[in-house]
Structure 1
Amino acid sequence: MSMPRSGLLSPRSLVRKFMPATARKPAWLPRQASAPAGRLTPSLGRIGSLEVRLARSPREIRKAQMLRYHVFYEEMSAIADAEAQATRRDIDAYDEICDHLLVLDHDTVERNAPFGRKKPRIVGTYRLLRQEVAERNGGFYTADEFDIQSLVDRHPQFKFLELGRSCVLKPYRTKRTVELLWHGIWAYVLMHRVDVMVGCASIAGTDPDGIAEQLAFLHHNTHPPQDWRVKAVDHRYVDMNRMARTEINERQALRDLPPLIKGYLRLGAYIGDGAVVDRQFGTTDVLVVMPVSALNSRYVNHYGADAQRYAS
């Protein structure tokens, strides 16, 4: 299962718009990358040969960017700029301030690994941006498409986490890999006491009328309570109410929705007001909002209140 850019569990969240030139690399990033072996970020879970954990080095982040390039640009319909074409990596300024969640396959050694050094292959990734880090560095990526700041301002007592740039290598788009990604996110949420997860999720295509039934299904069935409503920014707002509820074939609309969005809905996520067309990535994005307190109890029970289900 491939998950578009953003953010949320955004194939997706992705970036055309770079952060301000004043944005700086937070102090914790180089420390994480160069920590002694005994202090490396721990494993967050394991199923067989697959492990989920945070990236430990700039090299691993580069490998995650290469995976994103392969999925977004070579497999999907994103349009690469000169830098992406030259490096064959999906890169933006947010990569320097985010944590990068990885799924690694220890049974498949990556190509060109140095002789005598086995490097497990990175087969899945998610990008995680905590509110305190975003606020020190120009804000959330999602703010380019949705009025996320109004939501944050309404809930000053809560800690927010933005999910994005999610993708999985095609042979690994299985329940096992996705379960590990979510197990890693849940462990991260508990570790940092996150209260709300947000991010973009994408539907393939840039013609809203061509995906009218999917957008209308989301509009009529995923309204959040007033306190959790968020609109697309005015100059990019695309109305999702494109069909009357009575005209929607709900079973077909649900089948047509990307697996990522269906997964969010099963978790109990809300969908924002309005969509945004992202022509660079060839998608139409919707905003996903997931207060931890509103998560489906089956999800919490499945992974464990202490995220120990797949702990290694």
Structure 2
Amino acid sequence: MATRLNPSRNLFGRFRPAGGGAAGVPGLITTFQAYSGLQAFAARAHRPAQTLGRIGSLEVRLAQTAAEVRQAQKLRYRVFYQEGSAIPNPGRLFARRDVDSYDAICDHLLVIDHDARDRTALNRPTVVGTYRLLRQSLAEDHGGFYTAGEFAIGGLIERHTNLQFLELGRSCVLAPYRNKRTVELLWHGIHAYVQHHRIDVMIGCASLEGTDPHRLALPLSFLHHYSRAPEAWRARALPARYVEMNRLSKETIDPKDALRALPPLVKGYLRLGAYIGDGAVIDHEFGTTDVLVVLPFAEVKQKYLEHFDRSRRAA
């Protein structure tokens, strides 16, 4: 929620989904540019590195160069395509990187292990975790949020024109680092980013493994009955992609069983106080069923905010 916050001029034209996904979104750089060097990112990325948190050899901070973004893309490819069930297009298969045009306009949050070296990246420290962050002001100037390709978020944003939104996406962690320490570092980084940019609401698509909603009836129904967003924060899956989440009655659901069936990332969002949108979307390219996560920052539970602040000071 990958992990991956100004009132707009002509906002809702910008937030209509573009046919065919990111490659067709107006205002973004071309896919060729994205693969060949991330010029748009590189042009604005040269800034002093700032640590957002550190535990031992692990550091969380924003990517500073296009080379670091490429390391994050290689990690995403490894997790999504080599370990997971995503199907790469020819460009991704050739580059061995998960790339789309949004990469050039997003900030990329990285967890870096300074004790491990990436032999494929000139022996730089290894990127072991990443989240992609897209602020509303940048989304408005470059064609809209990625999430708009699956969920009708225009009405949600219209109801809160005084708030700033951040999209979280493309979250992943290298297998040996999938532990509490790494995940907490990512969230420390997000918390610092949200505070720095005065973000009010975080949104994004969270994925359940598999594309058969019948097999996912328990977690989908649990999210519908227990975490469905109130009207003020609700957005619905696009009509052509809408998958019903209410597949089991509330009385038949064992919440403990349902929680065990949810991915750790989704459970993490729920612990923070996130809401889930109306309807799911099947993403055949990634082999997942996606739900919309909406997390108003003002509603994040105070104990987590205090924990993030203490951890940042300690780091």
The TM-score normalised by the length of structure 2 is 0.88
Pair 1:128–1:19, CA change in 2 (3 A): farther
Q: Tell me, what secondary structure is at the counterpart of 1:164? A: strand
Q: Which residue of 1 aligns with 2:243?
A: 238
**Alignment partner for residue 221 of structure 2, among 216, 221, 239?**
216
- 1:29 alignment partner AA: F
Q: Deviations over 1:185-215 (max 9, x none)?
A: 0000001000000001000010000110110
Q: How does 1:102-121 map to 2 (within 5 A)?
A: 102-112=110-120, 114=122, 119-121=124-126
Q: Tell me, what secondary structure is at the counterpart of 2:163? A: coil
Moved more, 217-226 or 100-109: 217-226
Determine if the alignment matches structure 1 residue 283 to structure 2 residue 288: yes
**Alignment partner for residue 44 of structure 1, among 24, 40, 52?**
52
**Alignment partner for residue 294 of structure 1, among 272, 294, 299?**
299
- Whole-angstrom distance in 2 between the partners of 1:217 and 1:176: 28
- Whole-angstrom distance in 2 between the partners of 1:82 and 1:24: 19
- Whole-angstrom distance in 2 between the partners of 1:205 and 1:113: 32
Q: How does 1:2-151 map to 2 (within 5 A)?
A: 5=2, 7=4, 16-24=21-29, 29-33=41-45, 35=46, 39-112=47-120, 114=122, 119-151=124-156
- Whole-angstrom distance in 1 between the partners of 2:121 and 2:70: 14
- 2:102 alignment partner AA: Y
Q: Shift in Å at residue 258 of structure 1?
A: 0.3
Q: Shift in Å at residue 21 of structure 1?
A: 4.7
- Whole-angstrom distance in 2 between the partners of 1:156 and 1:44: 29
Contact preservation (8 Å) 2:80, 2:286: yes
Q: Shift in Å at residue 16 of structure 1?
A: 4.7
Q: Deviations over 1:118-164 (max 9, x none)?
A: 52110000000000000000000000000111111110000000000
Gaps (5+ residues) in structure 1? 9-14
Pair 1:252–1:97, CA change in 2 (3 A): same
Q: Tell me, what secondary structure is at the counterpart of 1:209? A: coil
**Identity rate of aligned residues, in percent?**
56
- Whole-angstrom distance in 2 between the partners of 1:82 and 1:246: 47
Q: How does 1:119-198 map to 2 (within 5 A)?
A: 119-198=124-203
Q: Shift in Å at residue 240 of structure 1?
A: 0.3
Q: Shift in Å at residue 225 of structure 1?
A: 2.1
Q: Which residue of 1 aligns with 2:34?
A: none
- Whole-angstrom distance in 1 between the partners of 2:39 and 2:92: 26
Determine if the alignment matches structure 1 residue 272 to structure 2 residue 277: yes
Q: Tell me, what secondary structure is at the counterpart of 2:162? A: coil
Q: How many residues align?
A: 294
- Whole-angstrom distance in 2 between the partners of 1:54 and 1:24: 21
Q: Tell me, what secondary structure is at the counterpart of 2:22? A: coil
- Whole-angstrom distance in 1 between the partners of 2:131 and 2:4: 8
Determine if the alignment matches structure 1 residue 303 to structure 2 residue 311: no
